[in-house]
Amino acid sequence: MTRLLVLVLAVAAPAACSDEVKDGEATGRASATDGSATPPPTATVPIVEPEGAVRVPIDETGTATMPPGSVLEIRVPAAWGDAATALRCTVTDGTGRNEDLHSSEVKKKEEAGGQEWMTLWTFSAAPNAELTVGCADPERRVPPEGQPFVRVVPRSSAPPAAR
């Protein structure tokens, strides 16, 4: 009888641990004793980036290549609001020369991956130039959820076609 009880407890123990964090994510199951239900994690829609786009984590650098006939935009989640204005971004070419970043008071917004993104900066360089892009958050104002990053996305610089 004792052996049967030990066997039952050994089988039940892993089931009781169903609320543990596994691979950095909650399993979404509530224990039978607490009576609460943990909502399933929200599904995120993957962002389908255009060719030539790169993601650069905050406080790191990444490499972008200037597509011919385009400008590059540094985009951030619109939800960051005023915290985005604290970002300090730099773009340098292969010789270490800083590229000029251009901004406007009215921030262009777009939807990507079920989230609204706004353009903070626009810049250009010689076609096919390899550029180092980095954005620092010295005041630590960007929300730390997930892995915060900026998107560096090409946009055609050609004027719209005549109608």
Q: What's the pLDDT at 144?
A: 85
Q: Are 28 and 39 in contact (CB under 8 A)?
A: yes
Give me 37's structure tokens. 């239900």
Please name which of 135, 154, 133 lies closest in space to residue 63, comparing C-alpha atoms.
Answer: 133
For residue range 16-61, list pLDDT tens digits in order: 443 333 333 333 333 334 444 443 444 556 777 778 899 999 999 9
Instruction: Tell me, yes or no, if the pTM score tops 0.75.
Output: no
Place of tokens 């079920």: 114
Domain spanning 54-156 has what CATH number?
A: 2.60.120
Q: Could you tell me where in the chain the CATH 2.60.120 domains are found? A: 54-156
Please name which of 131, 124, 113 lies closest in space to residue 77, comparing C-alpha atoms.
Answer: 113
Percent of the chain's residues with pLDDT above 90: 52
Q: Are 133 and 85 in contact (CB under 8 A)?
A: no
Residue 138 has pLDDT above 70, yes or no: yes
